[in-house]
Amino acid sequence: MKTIKCMMDHLYWADERILAALEDSETKNKELLKLVRHVAVAERVWLSRLQGKGTAQYSLWEETEDLNTIRTMFEENAEQYRVYFEGLEESVLDKMIDYANQSGVPFRTSIRDILLQVLLHGQYHRGQINRALRIESAEPAQVDYITFARLNSV
């Protein structure tokens, strides 16, 4: 549980860093903004599933030009995940959750695997965002876990 909580702290930190890099770049790249929005919405979708809520109202791939709205979504996600973790015990990580994906297909997945999906999915897409920033000659965000760990080991 300690490792997952620490990795979630990394996720909040990395989301903030990638947003700052996008803001600094002043990019107007619609696909890049769509990708960062996708990360924020996916985090929210998985949290809703963990909370036993439906997710049909969420669209994973919409265009946006408003980084402030995305920032707000990331901040709300972090707050809600922290609340979720306050009540989460190690003993329930292997509990199975029933949910439907965005196409309505039913699935059953453990809480542990859902949390790992959230963590790995975001890092995958932050790598894509950083690559796109480099192509645009903008400064990418350092989001490696080891950087986070070094900054927080004091």
Domain map (residue ranges) of the chain = 2-151
CA distance 144 to 147: 5
62 phi and psi angles, rounded to 5 deg: -120, 145
CA distance 25 to 132: 11
Supply 11's token pair: 């996720």
Closest to 14 measured CA to CA, from 130, 123, 117, 118: 123
CA distance 108 to 94: 11
The number of residues making up the chain comes to 154
Residue 40: what residue type? A
Each residue's pLDDT, cut to its tens digit, for the chain (154 residues) gives: 899 999 999 999 999 999 999 999 999 999 999 999 999 999 999 999 999 999 999 999 999 888 999 999 999 999 999 999 998 999 999 999 999 999 999 999 999 999 999 999 999 999 999 999 999 999 999 999 999 999 998 5
For tokens 């969420």, the residue is: 58
- Bridge partners of 109, per DSSP, are 97
CA distance 120 to 10: 11
Closest to 85 measured CA to CA, from 110, 111, 66, 123: 111
Match domain 2-151 to its CATH number in 3.40.1010.10, 3.40.50.1360, 1.10.10.60, 1.20.120.450: 1.20.120.450
